[in-house]
Amino acid sequence: MTSPRESSWVVHDHHGILGGLAAAFAVGRFHLRRAEDFFADLGLGARRALGLGRGSPCDTTLYRVLAGQSPVGFEETVLAQVKGHIARWEGDMVSRRRRYGGGGWGCRGAAILG
């Protein structure tokens, strides 16, 4: 999806825009201008995780995406994206446990908790 306000016609990932809109709606940013502000406030790491890169989509881009999106398709797309993030997170946790040996509280933590 191309953003009409970007000077270099930045192309944003469709799934990234939908995931970002879901996050914006979840925190109460129901107007597209407020959602645009939400995207602008995201850090670089969050934008990269969503597939947005450097720029943030404008409200016109958000409107165009939503106008062409059915509610069922929106739900399926965002659900698949969330499942992918959870799977990546779980994979990271497994690798950390292997790297650091167990990853639990250990004897000291169990003694503290009683």
Q: Is residue 8 part of a domain?
A: no
CB 34 within 8 A of CB 24: yes
* Predicted structure pTM score: 0.59
In a domain, residue 39? The reply is yes
Number of structural domains, the chain?
A: 1
- Inter-CA distances, 33 with 14, 22, 37, 86, 112, Å: 18, 14, 6, 29, 49
Is residue 29 situated within a structural domain? Answer: yes
**Is 4 inside any structural domain?**
no
> Can you tell me whether residue 2 is helix, strand or coil?
strand
Nearest to 39 by CA among 73, 10, 80: 10
Q: 10-60: per-residue pLDDT in tens?
A: 677 787 888 888 888 888 998 999 999 999 998 888 888 777 777 788 888
Residues of the domain holding 102: 14-113
7 within domain boundaries: no
